Structure 1
Amino acid sequence: MRSLKGQYIKNAQLGISAIIVLSAGLMYGLHPSKILPIVFGFEVQDLELKNIFRAIMGLYLVLGIYWIIGIIKPKHWQTATIINVLFMGGLAFGRIISTIFDGISSQYMIGLILELLFMIWGIYNLKSRVPQHQKS
């Protein structure tokens, strides 16, 4: 049986990711026309833009909830971690592309660094915590 400390370390990557992504999702979608101008400094008035941010909220909420399910139900841990690695890697890739084409944003560089760290942490967890017979 694995130690409680080992389980905590294994699940911390999903748990912290879930907290951050659930919070970001709510920030993006609860009231985009009031919250986003304060946080990001741009107005959200068009219906289509509000719809995009609420769709992002839905995506973030569903992913964050699934990562919590991955913590609670061990049979979902590996899939939740793979999805987390892909999500964090995808966000980091998009930020790298934006940095190349649009320039450096100090606000988003923090996000880029954190996304790369969470992606690497997830890859490490998958390599070190998935039994050999389950690896392809």
Structure 2
Amino acid sequence: MANQLIKNPKNLNLFLSGVIVIIAGIVYGGHPTYIMPELLGFEVVDLELKNILRAVMGIYMGVGLFWVLGSFEPKLWYAATLCNVLFMGGISFGRIVSTVFDGVSPLFTPALMLELLFFGWGLYNLKKYSEME
């Protein structure tokens, strides 16, 4: 498994970002009534907010799993990489908008840097490697 990632480094972008996004999803939705006050400083008491956070967890876990599968299955690689670029570009854009309008977030600025890294890395991979390689 690790040998495949080392032999073909184009897959590493998908694997690493997939694992990170799965973990982030679990953090957001795994136990929001405990995690959110500890991590982000707000209480989660409304059923609707719990539902939203767990839905975000599901999205993150599903997309992250698709990327991990794409890192091992050549037939999925192009679609998974394109999905990764759109996700990382979209979330980076949202964080940049928030930084401009709301200010710099000490907690999420490192996340923005990683998202921009994965966005650029994915664009590079899409340009360098063909769809059927």
Same-fold call, TM > 0.5? yes
Give the secondary structure class of the aligned counterpart of 1:38. Answer: helix
Q: Counterpart in 2 of 1:31? A: 31
Q: Counterpart in 1 of 2:121? A: 121
Please show how residues 46-85 of structure 1 align to structure 2 within 5 Å: 46-85=46-85
| Structure 1, unpaired ranges of 5+ | none
Give the secondary structure class of the aligned counterpart of 1:106. Answer: coil
Matching residue's letter, 2:87: F
Q: Counterpart in 1 of 2:86? A: 86
Asked whether the equivalents of residues 11 and 72 of structure 2 are also in contact (C-alpha less than 8 Å), the reply is no
| Structure 2, unpaired ranges of 5+ | none
Matching residue's letter, 1:31: H
Identical residues among aligned pairs (%):
52
1:130 aligns with 2:130: yes
Instruction: Give me the whole-angstrom Cα distance separating, in 1, the residues matched to 2:29 and 2:107.
Output: 19
Instruction: Give me the whole-angstrom Cα distance separating, in 1, the residues matched to 2:37 and 2:73.
Output: 38
Give the secondary structure class of the aligned counterpart of 2:108. Answer: helix
Matching residue's letter, 1:43: E
Higher helix share: 1
Matching residue's letter, 1:53: L
RMSD of equivalent CA atoms? 1.5
Under a length normalisation based on structure 2, what TM-score does the superposition of the two structures give?
0.91
Q: Counterpart in 2 of 1:106? A: 106
Give the secondary structure class of the aligned counterpart of 1:104. Answer: coil
Instruction: Give me the whole-angstrom Cα distance separating, in 2, the residues matched to 1:109 and 1:71.
Output: 27
Under a length normalisation based on structure 1, what TM-score does the superposition of the two structures give?
0.89
1:6 deviates by 4.5
